[in-house]
Structure 1
Amino acid sequence: MKIKLIHCADLHLDSPFQGLTTKEPSLADRFKHSTNEAFVKIIDLCLAEKVDFLTIGGDTFDGADRSLSAQILLRDQFERLYKADIPVIIVAGNHDPMPDWLTEIKYPNNVHLLGGDKVESIPIEKNGKVITRIYGTSYKVSEVTENLSLKLQAKEKDTVSIGLLHANVGSRKGHAPYAPCSLNDLKENNMDIWLLGHIHTTEVLCKDPLILYPGNIQGRHINEDGPRGCYIIKIDSNRKISYEFKPVHNILWKQEEMNIKDIMTTVELTELLLDKCEEELSKLNNDEKGIVVRWRLTGPSPLYHELTMTDKIEETKEILVARFFNQAPFIFPESIRLKIRPERQKKDYINQENFIGDFLRLAGKVENDDQMKNELLKILNQPLSNRTIRKYLEEIDENELLTILEDSVNLGIDLLSGDKSS
Structure 2
Amino acid sequence: MRFIHTADLHLDSPFLGLTSMPKPLWERVHSSTFAAFQKIVDDAIDLKVDFVLISGDIYDRDQQSIAATDFFIKQCERLSQAHIPVYLLYGNHDYQIVQDAGELPANVHIFGNRVTTTTLTLANHDSVAISGFSYDQRWIQEDQVQKYPPKRNETWHIGMLHGAVRQSQDNHYAPFATDELIAKNYDYWALGHIHKHQILNEKPPIIYSGNPQGRHKNEAGQHGYYLVESQGNKLVPQFKPVAEIEWTSLTVNALPTSSLAEVERSLSQAIDDKLKNAPFQLVELTIANIEQLSPTIRHLLANGDVLEHLQDQNADNGKWWVYDLLLHQQNSLPSMTDLDEQYWQQAAQKVFTPANIAELTKSLARDADLAAKLITLDLQQLKQATTQLLRRED
- TM-score (norm. length: structure 1): 0.74
Partner of 1:296: 286
Checking the alignment, whether the CA contact within 8 Å between 2:2 and 2:228 is kept in structure 1 is: yes
Question: Residues 270 and 313 (structure 1 numbering): CA distance in 2 closer, same or farther, change over 3 Å?
Answer: farther
> Are positions 1:324 and 2:314 aligned together?
yes
> Are positions 1:227 and 2:217 aligned together?
no
Letter of the aligned partner of 2:112 in structure 1? G
Partner of 1:339: 328
Checking the alignment, whether the CA contact within 8 Å between 2:121 and 2:127 is kept in structure 1 is: yes
Checking the alignment, whether the CA contact within 8 Å between 2:213 and 2:223 is kept in structure 1 is: yes
Cα distance, 1:83 vs structure 2:
1.8
Alignment of 1:370-409 (within 5 A): none
1:239 to 233, 242, 254: 233
Partner of 1:141: 137
Cα distance, 1:164 vs structure 2:
0.3
Partner of 1:161: 157
* Structure 1: runs of 5 or more not aligned: 347-359, 374-384, 408-422
Checking the alignment, whether the CA contact within 8 Å between 2:225 and 2:242 is kept in structure 1 is: yes
Cα distance, 1:397 vs structure 2:
6.7
Letter of the aligned partner of 2:245 in structure 1? I
> Are positions 1:110 and 2:99 aligned together?
no
* Structure 2: runs of 5 or more not aligned: 345-359, 365-369, 371-381
Partner of 1:214: 209
Cα distance, 1:316 vs structure 2:
2.5
Local SS of the residue matching 1:40: helix
Question: Residues 176 and 294 (structure 1 numbering): CA distance in 2 closer, same or farther, change over 3 Å?
Answer: farther
Letter of the aligned partner of 1:213 in structure 2? Y
Local SS of the residue matching 1:62: coil
Question: Residues 397 and 228 (structure 1 numbering): CA distance in 2 closer, same or farther, change over 3 Å?
Answer: closer
Partner of 2:128: 132
Checking the alignment, whether the CA contact within 8 Å between 1:38 and 1:218 is kept in structure 2 is: yes
CA–CA distance in structure 2, aligned partners of residues 309 and 172 of structure 1 = 46
CA–CA distance in structure 2, aligned partners of residues 58 and 184 of structure 1 = 22
Partner of 1:12: 10
CA–CA distance in structure 1, aligned partners of residues 190 and 391 of structure 2 = 39
Local SS of the residue matching 2:219: coil
Local SS of the residue matching 1:276: helix
Letter of the aligned partner of 1:41 in structure 2? K
Partner of 1:120: 116
Letter of the aligned partner of 1:339 in structure 2? H
> Are positions 1:152 and 2:152 aligned together?
no
Local SS of the residue matching 1:246: strand
Letter of the aligned partner of 1:331 in structure 2? W
Which stretch of the first structure deviates more once superposed, 70-79 or 299-308? 299-308
- TM-score (norm. length: structure 2): 0.79
Partner of 1:203: 198
Partner of 1:53: 51
Letter of the aligned partner of 2:73 in structure 1? R
Cα distance, 1:319 vs structure 2:
2.8
CA–CA distance in structure 2, aligned partners of residues 37 and 190 of structure 1 = 36
Letter of the aligned partner of 1:133 in structure 2? A
CA–CA distance in structure 1, aligned partners of residues 48 and 39 of structure 2 = 14
Local SS of the residue matching 1:44: helix
Paired residues, what number? 356
Local SS of the residue matching 1:275: helix
Checking the alignment, whether the CA contact within 8 Å between 1:37 and 1:250 is kept in structure 2 is: yes
CA–CA distance in structure 2, aligned partners of residues 255 and 172 of structure 1 = 31
1:32 to 30, 33, 57: 30
Q: Give CA-to-partner distance per residue, 1:13-55, whole Å, 9 cap, x none.
A: 122223433x657454332221112111100000111111100
Q: Give CA-to-partner distance per residue, 1:114-148, whole Å, 9 cap, x none.
A: 111x2111212112724321111111112111111
CA–CA distance in structure 2, aligned partners of residues 34 and 164 of structure 1 = 25
1:43 to 27, 41, 50: 41
CA–CA distance in structure 2, aligned partners of residues 367 and 41 of structure 1 = 43
Checking the alignment, whether the CA contact within 8 Å between 1:71 and 1:105 is kept in structure 2 is: no
CA–CA distance in structure 2, aligned partners of residues 33 and 5 of structure 1 = 25
Cα distance, 1:177 vs structure 2:
3.1
Q: Which has the larger radius of gyration?
A: 1
Question: Residues 213 and 277 (structure 1 numbering): CA distance in 2 closer, same or farther, change over 3 Å?
Answer: same
Letter of the aligned partner of 2:84 in structure 1? I
Local SS of the residue matching 1:146: coil
Cα distance, 1:277 vs structure 2:
3.6
CA–CA distance in structure 1, aligned partners of residues 128 and 35 of structure 2 = 30
Cα distance, 1:340 vs structure 2:
2.7
Question: Residues 166 and 307 (structure 1 numbering): CA distance in 2 closer, same or farther, change over 3 Å?
Answer: farther
Checking the alignment, whether the CA contact within 8 Å between 1:255 and 1:294 is kept in structure 2 is: yes
Local SS of the residue matching 2:117: strand
Give percent identity, aligned residues only: 31
Q: Give CA-to-partner distance per residue, 1:345-385, whole Å, 9 cap, x none.
A: x9xxxxxxxxxxxxx9xx79x96999xx9xxxxxxxxxxx9
CA–CA distance in structure 1, aligned partners of residues 115 and 65 of structure 2 = 30
